Amino acid sequence: MSRDVSFSLDTKGGQDVLTDLARPAVEQAANAIAARAKAMASSVSSNPPEISVAIASGTIKRGVRAIATISAEGRDAHENYVGHQALSKAKDAGRV
């Protein structure tokens, strides 16, 4: 004798779990990029820009993900240029 069994998956809960599991890896990669960018900027300029990291959950086309934002804030155009160049060259430091 067979019995019908039905079930459903909570995809919202799965997204939350995956986002929470991925957050440390995303944070580690973002901090590695920021550290390399700070080192590069310090070697180029005597007044390097402030490089900061922000980690948050955000929505992209495929759902909710852990997203890192790394920004360089300088006091003038030269510091901004140095910071943005350092960030663009440091992106390989965050490969996992």
**The pLDDT of residue 42:** 92
Domain total of the chain? 1
Tell whether pTM > 0.85: no
Report yes or no on 23 lying in a domain.
Answer: yes
2 lies in some domain: no
6 part of a folded domain: no
Q: Decide if 35 is inside a domain.
A: yes
70 domain residue, yes or no: yes
Report pLDDT digits (tens) over 29-50. Answer: 999 999 999 999 999 888 899 9
Q: What is the mean pLDDT of residues 50-59?
A: 90
Categorize the per-residue pLDDT at 1 as very low, low, confident or very high, splitting at 50, 70 and 90.
Answer: low
Most distant CA pair in the chain: distance in Å? Answer: 80
Q: Is residue 4 part of a domain?
A: no
Q: Is residue 85 part of a domain?
A: yes
Domain assignment of residue 64, yes or no: yes
The 3-state DSSP composition of the chain as helix, strand, coil percent (nearest 5) reads 55, 25, 25
- Domain span including residue 18: 11-94
- What the block records as the tokens of 88 is 């663009």
